Structure 1
């Protein structure tokens, strides 16, 4: 199992190196995708390698003068990577509009790389509006045409269907791991789970599916330490928490049983309908996935993120909620008061940790997490 995880980790550590090797081997295009709502399936069907662009561990240096300091770490890191030439191997970047900061990042990239195609598609945010499906179908139809123009070849419907099947299978494999972990059958760390999800955002789909088949057979069936506090991790809706932060949380006596992280359950929770016409399947996937896991950048009547979190905590047996809020993430900041109020009303122990791209006060965080774990354990004992 460790060999498989190490292969995935190499792609995660150097995604552009992986993409360059794939491009040299196949002669096909590499398309960078920005989180969080656009279907990689369509870029895959166009014969390209879709690579989800993430922050990297490098401090923001040369890009500092081109981005506001009050932008989140993801956006500042993306601008810095562009200025450092890290994305020079890309043939296009696909942008969305879920965040006003991301719009500024798109403008910087356009200015710095005027010859790099930027495919910008604006998705509706009111998902239950009467016009939402019509507009979404139009957006994905436009994207289909733009990708055909970029690659210089038509995208056959049967090819798009095959891409949807491949992505559905990959998501199903990763959901199986999540289910085994929730049931206490395996003891994969939060770092390992994040490596698995992040590598699926980078690697060629058939290769990742094959690795997942091997991993599901090889993962040791062993129960986690029953003395550790089961917790639910929430937040980080666009990019990954630092692995050392995840390690620290588990070293303090917690074990993650479920999450709604972007580099976690949020990325794999929804499949596309393989029976529908591909563009309809993509539109319905986008419009319906919010019902399964609410996103604070979208709106839909009757859906509350805080109630979803409380329900998922109960279903997974979590006894505490750890919220990882990216500094300057406005959608999360707006929603947090409702989450806190709901947790307080339900007497659910919760801890807010504000994360940053640069250095974080890990020792101070450790003290807070240790205290939280002890309080949550005491509450669970008293409730029993």
Structure 2
């Protein structure tokens, strides 16, 4: 599993080497509603733009200080030139904060290509499908113009197959985490999914295919302890995951756009490839910006908790993250009413590991006392 961690930690070096090796273009995307199928069909490497979890002082002139730390951290990476190898940037409409990060990046560190994709918020409307299908056609045309390559149905089929293979393999890994003694930790699973957002999925898929048999036979060298779920805002905080699991617990499942929400459903075949892709993104487990008027996430999250035999859930929110801040009270109430205790934590660019350790320890102590009685 070390390879996935190395890919994630050396993601900039990987992308630069990929460009040199293939002569292809690399595009950075800010949101997982961006249809990577179309980018792979065009021979473009999509890489997720994430922060570095370091204090920074470069974003204040460009973005409000009360915008979430994740979007400010992402923008800082662009302003500091850490993604200067990108040929393009793109975003699908998600929240106002990350949209501002994209806009400021585009203004102050412009690339040869940029594209804003109007992903519908009202995904529960039947009109969302034809609307997104038409927007995907416009996106495909823009990518064709940028790359000088016509994207055929065969190209789209290839892009869909690359993405669906990745989703299938990651679902198989997550199935292994249902075991009484999961063969991988939550931290290892986080590296697995994050690296899949950074490197060429054909390479990632091939390596993961090899590792699956090894994983299925792997005997963990640690006690599982309490089985936890983590959910909420974007989360790539590996230091927090390592700290929490060092206390004798294991994250067995998640609901994050850097986790299961990213790969949960696949593109189902249709004659109209763009409509098939549109349906996949409309039907995926929703981000809270799109989970209305019905809260479709609640039964999905509870199903994950039940099927993965979760004993408690850590519900985290990036500070000032308005969509999740509105969502979290309903999620906590729903989980607790259904027998899943929760702990709420508010994350910032840098997480106060010492303070959070005390709170996680207290939460685990509570769970252990409940087991005693």
TM-score (norm 2): 0.94
Distance 1:14 1:64 in 2: 27
CA shift, 1:6, in A, is 2.9
Determine helix, strand or coil for the equivalent of 1:65: coil
CA shift, 1:300, in A, is 4.5
Equivalence map 1:25-174=2 (5 Å)? 25-174=21-170
- Aligned counterpart for 2:229 among listed residues 227, 232, 246: 232
Matched with 1:346 is 338
Structure 1 pair 294–115 and aligned structure 2 pair: CA distance change class (3 A): closer
Matched with 2:218 is 221
Determine helix, strand or coil for the equivalent of 1:66: coil
CA shift, 1:227, in A, is 6.2
Structure 1 pair 42–321 and aligned structure 2 pair: CA distance change class (3 A): same
- 1:23 maps onto 2:19 in alignment: yes
CA shift, 1:277, in A, is 2.7
Residues 147-200 of structure 1 show CA distances to partners (whole Å, capped at 9, x for unaligned) of 001101101110110111121111111111110111235431211111111111
- 1:314 maps onto 2:306 in alignment: yes
Structure 1 pair 230–49 and aligned structure 2 pair: CA distance change class (3 A): same
- Aligned counterpart for 2:325 among listed residues 333, 341, 347: 333
Residues 85-130 of structure 1 show CA distances to partners (whole Å, capped at 9, x for unaligned) of 1121111111122101122112211220345421011111111223
- Aligned counterpart for 2:247 among listed residues 249, 252, 276: 252
Give ranges in structure 2 of 5+ residues lacking alignment. Answer: none
Distance 1:301 1:112 in 2: 37
Matched with 1:305 is 297
CA shift, 1:226, in A, is 5.6
Structure 1 pair 96–304 and aligned structure 2 pair: CA distance change class (3 A): same
Structure 1 pair 130–186 and aligned structure 2 pair: CA distance change class (3 A): closer
- Aligned counterpart for 1:176 among listed residues 172, 176, 195: 172
Structure 1 pair 6–183 and aligned structure 2 pair: CA distance change class (3 A): closer
- Aligned counterpart for 1:366 among listed residues 352, 357, 363: 357
Determine helix, strand or coil for the equivalent of 1:252: coil
CA shift, 1:38, in A, is 1.5
User: Contact 1:133/1:284 (CA < 8 Å) preserved in 2?
Assistant: yes
- 1:273 maps onto 2:268 in alignment: yes
User: Contact 1:161/1:274 (CA < 8 Å) preserved in 2?
Assistant: no
Moved more, 271-280 or 297-306: 297-306
TM-score (norm 1): 0.91
User: Contact 1:319/1:380 (CA < 8 Å) preserved in 2?
Assistant: no
Residues 327-356 of structure 1 show CA distances to partners (whole Å, capped at 9, x for unaligned) of 111111011121232234334311011111
Structure 1 pair 115–247 and aligned structure 2 pair: CA distance change class (3 A): closer
Distance 2:178 2:271 in 1: 32
User: Contact 1:63/1:81 (CA < 8 Å) preserved in 2?
Assistant: no
Give ranges in structure 1 of 5+ residues lacking alignment. Answer: none
